[in-house]
């Protein structure tokens, strides 16, 4: 029987550490891939958005819906990635498409999805990837180029058994910024602007294809 990790991330500005709120999530692998659903709250506790991301067994986005500040973006992997962004009034929608394999944004869900997409080997050279970023606060779409490298995969003992933790180095190719991300299964342990505050069940391990 598979567990369904459920927990809470705290979010903050990665540069000045201003608190941005929390992301309450649950996620689980399934027969066709992996799904992540979350609700976001601001520092005052008010609801400020949601994320619903489903990827296939290769890490490609089957369905994505992100809501923030009354804006909504829905997208999927169609001829690269295709998306529709709807304004707060709902009267206009803009469509877009780029030759990229996936999306990214402030949610930890996108880090898990990208790591599944790349399937990196510890110690191998960095892999370059182009992604469609949904930037805060109004989910403005922007193309970004990153380089991902899996530096190490280490086993850590826990009360529920050994936990494999992957340490990634992610470089933004436009600014040169370099960040470290720690991922265990389908849960982000730490990343720029993200801290795992609570986890009810252990992370799920992906079955390698």
Look up the pTM and report it: 0.94
Among the residue ranges 32-36, 62-66, 72-76, 89-93, the one predicted with the least confidence is: 89-93
Per-residue pLDDT tens digits for 69-98: 899 999 999 999 999 999 988 888 999 999
3-class DSSP assignment, residue 209? coil
Q: 27-63 burial, b if ≥16 CB within 10 A, otherwise e?
A: bebeeebbbbbbebbeeeeeebbbbebbbbbebbbee
Per-residue pLDDT tens digits for 105-136: 999 999 999 999 999 999 999 999 999 999 98
Q: How confident is the model at residue 2 (pLDDT cuts 50, 70, 90)?
A: low
Furthest C-alpha separation in the chain: 53
Rg of the chain's alpha carbons, rounded to an integer? 16
Per-residue pLDDT tens digits for 144-191: 999 999 999 999 887 777 889 999 999 999 999 999 999 999 999 999
């Amino acid at each position: 029987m598979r567990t369904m990790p459920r927990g809470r991330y705290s979010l903050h500005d990665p540069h000045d550490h201003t608190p941005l709120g929390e992301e309450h999530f649950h996620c689980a692998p399934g027969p066709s891939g992996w799904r992540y659903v979350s609700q976001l709250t601001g520092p005052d506790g008010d609801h400020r958005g949601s994320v619903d991301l489903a990827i296939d067994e290769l890490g490609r986005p089957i369905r994505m819906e992100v809501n923030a500040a009354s804006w909504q973006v829905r997208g999927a992997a169609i001829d690269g990635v295709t998306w529709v962004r709807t304004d707060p009034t709902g009267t206009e929608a803009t469509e877009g498409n780029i030759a990229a394999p996936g999306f990214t944004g402030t949610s930890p869900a996108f880090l898990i999805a990208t790591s599944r997409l790349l399937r990196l080997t510890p110690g191998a050279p960095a892999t370059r990837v182009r992604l469609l970023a949904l930037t805060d606060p109004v989910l403005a779409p922007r193309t970004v180029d990153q380089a991902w490298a899996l530096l190490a995969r280490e086993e850590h003992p826990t009360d529920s058994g050994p936990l494999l933790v992957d340490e990634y180095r992610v470089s933004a190719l436009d600014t040169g910024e370099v960040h470290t991300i720690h991922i265990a299964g389908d849960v982000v342990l730490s990343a720029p602007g993200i801290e795992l505050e609570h986890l009810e069940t252990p992370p799920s391990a992906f079955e390698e294809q």
